Amino acid sequence: MNINPLNEVARDLLAQVTGKDGEFEGAYNIRQDAGCAGRRSTENIKIVPHREGKPGIEIHVAPGTDKETVYIPAAVTKGHVNDLTYNDFYIGEGASVIIVAGCGVHTDDDGEAKHNGVHRFFVGKNADVVYEEKHIGAGTGEGKRRIDPVTDIYLDEDAKMTIDTIQISGVDVTDRVTTAALKAQSKLIVRERLLTNETQTAKTRFDVVLEGEDAGCDLVSRSVARGRSRQEFYSRIIGKARCHGHSACDAIIDDEAVVTAAPQLDALNPDAMLIHEAAIGKIAGEQILKLRTLGLTEEEAEAKIVEGFLK
């Protein structure tokens, strides 16, 4: 397959979420408006239709694959489109892979533009996965721009998965659900960055079970809420063996925005070491004053602080 069918809006959205302007090296699967706009496999990464006949794909990464990248972005370019896709990832033992995902939703009318990606990761022993996703909304229409990702993760012994997820532009509604089950000595690292404005709403839910000895997770969410937007952050870490888990929500709030943070820890083993943190507050006045002495306006100073906070 090639990716010539991509329209101009899709090209712009995909460039923003992947950093690629319509040209993808290696393995890829590109979605546009609930359909496939291009697909390519490589020797070590095979992409095939979902075996259960669901809309979506399976990505099979061969054991021992060394630092290869696969792209699986999606674009919804108009209203009245509800893109639902099921993507299953099978990562072979000892493989190292970078997965670049992300989605852009765009509407210029009163119709909702929605993407819902249901992703399942089966990560083999000693494998190392980096998963990068960026979500954006665009367009001038009154229709909602909505992204509701669901992620289920299964890490085998000594496996590692790092998730870097960012949403800082234009998404009106998002409900993000992530569950994970970790076997012995496996590691899950999550870095979430989120910005909401106006009346946007965003909900994040993590549910992680540390099943094996010396399994560990580190969940960190950094967010900025402005206007009359609302954010909710829920995390639950369950320690069933000697393990270590950390959850943190750090938010800046402004205007009439509302942020709720509710971390939960369940230690089911006396050697489970679990920690949670939550901090919500306004931008410190001394930070703005310091930047204003350098010649920035108050608006420019706030923008610089937010930019640094979300890096």
Q: How many CA atoms lie within 13 A of 164 on its CB side?
A: 11
Q: In the predicted model, is pLDDT for residue 203 greater than 80? A: yes
Tell me the average pLDDT across 239-246.
98
Buried-exposed string 191-216: b where 16+ CB fall within 10 A, e elsewhere: ebbbbbbeebbbbbbbbbbbbbebbb
Res. 136: pLDDT tops 60: yes
The pLDDT of residue 255 is 87
Q: Residue 53: its pLDDT value, please?
A: 83
23 pLDDT exceeds 90?
no
**Residues 64-92, mean pLDDT to the nearest whole number:** 96
pLDDT digits (tens, 9 = 90+) for 177-188: 999 999 999 999
Quick one: pLDDT band at residue 1, thresholds 50, 70, 90?
Answer: very low
Residue 279 bridge partners (DSSP): 250
* Segment 93-110 mean pLDDT: 96
Whether 95 has a pLDDT exceeding 60, the answer reads yes
pLDDT at residue number 290: 65
Q: Residue 13 burial by CB count (10 A; 0-12/13-18/19+): exposed, middle or buried?
A: buried
Burial group, residue 96, by CB count within 10 angstroms (0-12, 13-18, 19+): middle
Joined tokens for residue 238? 């369950």
> Is residue 3 scored above 50 in pLDDT?
no
Q: Place 310 in a pLDDT band, splitting at 50, 70 and 90.
A: confident
Express each pLDDT in 254-309 by its tens digit. 889 999 999 999 999 999 999 999 888 887 666 666 666 667 777 777 777 777 87
Secondary structure letter of residue 309 according to DSSP? H
Tell me, rounded to whole angstroms, the distance of Cα 125 from its chain centroid: 23
* Closest by Cα among 121, 112, 99 to 147: 112
Flag whether pLDDT at 79 surpasses 90.
yes
Asked if residue 2 has pLDDT above 50, the reply is no
- pLDDT (0 to 100) of residue 282: 82
DSSP letter assigned to residue 228: T
For residue 140, what is the DSSP state?
A: S
Give the pLDDT score at 293. 66
* pLDDT surpasses 80 at 125: yes
Residue 219 has pLDDT above 90, yes or no: yes
The b/e string for 110-142 (b: 16+ C-beta within 10 A; e otherwise) is ebbbbbbbbbbbbbbbbbbbbbbbbbbbbbebe
